Structure 1
Amino acid sequence: MTTLHITVGDREQLREDALQFVQDVEADDLDDQDGKATLQFGTYDDFVDSLTPLRLELIRAIAEEAPESMREAARLVERDVSDVHSDLKQLEVLGILTLEEGGPSGAIQPVVPFDRIEVHIDYPLIDSGDADGTPASA
């Protein structure tokens, strides 16, 4: 298994990282470190909206217990199946888990391919302004 690295930082840095990644791919210049599993959020609010405490609890339960269906995952966290289904779909879109066909009786099985999540949050307390030193609010 692997570690999922989650970063939260400014949108400009995310844009620069994405452009660099595209350039590296086009130049066929990716090394093993570039291939690590990373999920980036542009803002802290995006992060908090996407990874709620209930979703984190669900991720952990799936990683620890390996439920064979969405219904079993819902039982593990003692939540309504339709709410868990919605959360699982969102977590799949984010790439945090996969929903695999072929569980018992054709059930969709949630699978977390990570054994650890590491989060790095860049949360500036003071607005640094733009390049010429003028505060962004001016």
Structure 2
Amino acid sequence: MTTLHMTVGDREQLREETLQFVSNAEEQNSDDRHVLQFGTYDDLVSHLTPLRLSLIQTIAKTRPTSMREAARLVDRDISDVHSDLKQLEVLGILSLKEGGPSGTVQPVVSFDHIEMHIDYSLLDDRDADSAPASV
């Protein structure tokens, strides 16, 4: 199984955790470790909207041969799907393979699982100092 690990949180902390994660993966001799980092939860939800997640899942399940077929499968406008596919390609979540039937571009998801690790602080560091103690 190939898993895409998405992490959200403090960039420096994520950097350290990712280095440890990669080190552990190398010790396990695994080439199937892929990590995508987002600095904040807002970054994650702006890039991975419910429509985009549905599109990713549909492509992984049905393996459409073109962008147009992918748009038809999710019942969306081709221009919107094209834009989403380009953004997802930039993020490394999928690839767009040229040379499909009749010169089409085929979206390909090379992961079969996405795992999200979210560090969502309820208090900013400055808030933690002034927070009332609980009794």
Q: TM-score, normalised on structure 1?
A: 0.80
Find out whether 1:86 has 2:105 as its counterpart. no
Residue identity over aligned pairs, in percent, reads 68
Q: Name 2:4's counterpart in structure 1.
A: 4
**SS of structure 1 residue aligned to 2:96:** strand
Q: Map residues 1-138 of structure 1 onto 2, 5 A cutoff.
A: 1-16=1-16, 31=27, 32=29, 36-129=33-126
**SS of structure 2 residue aligned to 1:37:** strand
| Uncovered stretches (5+) of structure 1, i.e. residues with no partner | 25-29
| Uncovered stretches (5+) of structure 2, i.e. residues with no partner | 131-135
- Do the aligned residues in 1 keep the contact of 2:3 with 2:32 (CA within 8 Å)? no
Q: Name 1:27's counterpart in structure 2.
A: none
> 96-105 or 119-128: which moved more?
119-128
Letter paired with 1:55: R
The one-character-per-residue Cα deviations of 1:44-93 (angstroms, maximum 9, x if unpaired) are: 01000000000000000000000000000000000000000000000000
Question: C-alpha root-mean-square deviation of aligned residues, in Å?
Answer: 2.4
**SS of structure 2 residue aligned to 1:126:** coil
Distance 1:51 1:121 in 2: 14
Q: TM-score, normalised on structure 2?
A: 0.81
Distance 2:4 2:110 in 1: 9
